Amino acid sequence: MGLAATARITAAADGSLPVLESDGPLALRRTRAAGPYTRVTVVGAMSAPLGGDRLALRADVRDGARLLVDAAAATVALPGRSAVPATYDVTLTVGADAELRWLPEQLVSAAGSTLSMRTTVELAPTARLVLREEQILGRHGEPSGTLATRLTVRRAGRPLLDQELRYGPGAPAGWDGPAVLADCRATGQLLVVDADFADKPVEARLLGEHAVLAPLAGPAALLTAAAPDALALRRVLDEALGLLACPW
């Protein structure tokens, strides 16, 4: 059996953190932030997730609070002694007139690893969200591990986005073919949910060679990107972040 660990964050409107609970490899630290946000940085306390590990991270942003969560380093999924896949579940709840910027570092799927990651987000009707995901398929010079990710976002109890992606040896054939990723080994997305998009929806457009920005009913905007490496991917995600989220 692998490691089981659950870390928890609760942010209040007065800037306090009533709950900041680390567990196992998920070490949480309050760090200095510019602007109106309370900032929490996830610091890896040990190698994880390994095969068989069951990790979870819960964040509750109470009404009127502003929380930014980032990470000190990439998360690297590694093979372990157990043949059981590792799991990593992230649950985010954002209250009325609250804002969450969820900006972790990349998730690297190392050769031989198997990871299932699920992110579930519940938003109040007036909540705002910036959420970034980046998957790097294999370390330098190695093939990808097996990676399955699912992102489910609900706003006011109604579905806004629900998508599942699979990469690596355990994925359906064609994931690395010319119609999907081809030679790209970095992929990711940026989701921004803001009530202002109801009156001023984002115009669909290309960003770079392998990225598209599109409006979503909700109201929201989604950038989906593929790139040859992590650096190129981050550049296009940062460009989209500047276009969509600067007014906050």
Task: Write the pLDDT tens digit of every residue in 32-62.
Answer: 988 889 999 999 756 678 888 999 999 999 9
- Close Cβ partners of 9 (under 8 Å, ≥ 6 residues apart): 17, 19, 20, 21, 28, 40, 57, 58, 59, 60, 67, 69
pTM to 2 decimal places: 0.94
Per-residue pLDDT tens for 104-114?
A: 999 999 999 99
The string of DSSP letters for 94-121 reads E-TT-EEEEE--PEEE-TT-EEEEEEEE
Four-residue CA torsion sign, 240, 241, 242, 248: positive
| Cα dihedral: 214, 190, 123, 215 (round 10) | -10
Instruction: Supply 50's token pair.
Output: 């390994």
> What's the average model confidence in pLDDT over 70-97?
92
Q: Are 231 and 185 in contact (CB under 8 A)?
A: no
Q: What are phi and psi of 233, to 5 degrees?
A: -65, -45
> What's the average model confidence in pLDDT over 167-177?
84
pLDDT at 180 over 50: yes
Q: Which helix (H) or strand (E) holds 242?
A: helix 230-245
Q: Which helix (H) or strand (E) holds 84?
A: none
